Amino acid sequence: MVIAIDRPVSQTAALLSGDVQIQTQAHSAWGGAVTAAMFVPIDRAAVWQQVTNYPRWVEFFPDIVRSEVLGSIPQGKRLYQVGRKAVLMFAAEVEIVLRAIESTTATQQQISFELERGSFRDFSAQLRLQDFQGGTLLTYSVQATPAIPVPSLLIQEGMKLDLPANLRSMRRVLCNR
């Protein structure tokens, strides 16, 4: 999903006031897809410098407990990340190795995350930065199917609840608040 820069005034006002806008969709019978957008009140270059510092992702997202660069690849890096999540009496740990492909144009910067191997049947994500209202519009899209069968609706609802909180945490770290 592409988040348009030309938004209705009410959506722009909501973003500027700190709202995280989210849209979910089915991805597979056992997976989910979510796109979230938020305003970061700092310039795109400063945001880019921080989000491409991949070991810092443990600061951005509370459930990521390890994030390290394994090496360089053309146009990006290979990453190893470990995430932990506990819900009620269920606790899970996931490990993934990703290719983070970085691209820059005059109007936006983007990181495409592609799964090499890990605890998912499939996983991909895109983080896009665009100039917006004197700051940056950060859009994060993720689609994933866990290795264990969990109904798509539960995956989508979990993503819908977690992603806005994770992005708000990311914004606090990016803005040093």
pLDDT at 153: 59
pLDDT at 119: 83
Q: What is the pTM of this model?
A: 0.87
pLDDT at 108 over 80: yes
Range of the domain at 155: 24-174
Q: How confident is the model at residue 125 (pLDDT cuts 50, 70, 90)?
A: very high
The 10s digit of each residue's pLDDT in 23-69 is 887 676 667 788 999 999 999 999 999 999 999 999 999 999 999 99
- Residue 152 included in any domain: yes
How far apart, in whole angstroms, are the C-alpha atoms of residue 97 and residue 83? 12
- Residue 4 included in any domain: no
How large is the average pLDDT for residues 160-170?
Answer: 87
Concatenated DSSP letters for 16-84? HTT--EEEEEEEETTEEEEEEEEEESS-HHHHHHHHT-GGGHHHH-TTEEEEEEEEEETTEEEEEEEEE
- Residue 43 included in any domain: yes
